[in-house]
Amino acid sequence: VFIAYLSRKPEKTSIDDFIFIKMISKGAYGKVWLVKHKRTQEIYAMKLINSSEKVLSLFIFGFKIH
């Protein structure tokens, strides 16, 4: 049993493993959600960052305006 446990691959968690309950807050780069893990039923706060806005802001601040 111990050997079988060591040979198992760790489970990867994805966004599809959660149920979105309620948006807690909204900021400049994303939102924070109250979520529940589907398998374990544990409650978490998940921050989702809007990567397109972050890339755009970094792109804009990366240049000097003369």
User: Per-residue pLDDT tens for 9-66?
Assistant: 667 888 899 999 999 999 877 888 889 989 989 889 988 877 766 565 555 455 544 4
φ and ψ at residue 13, rounded to 5 degrees: -95, 135
How many Cβ atoms from other residues are within 10 Å of residue 35's Cβ?
Answer: 20
pTM value is 0.61
pLDDT class of 1 with cuts at 50, 70, 90: very low
Give the residue carrying structure tokens 């309620």. 22
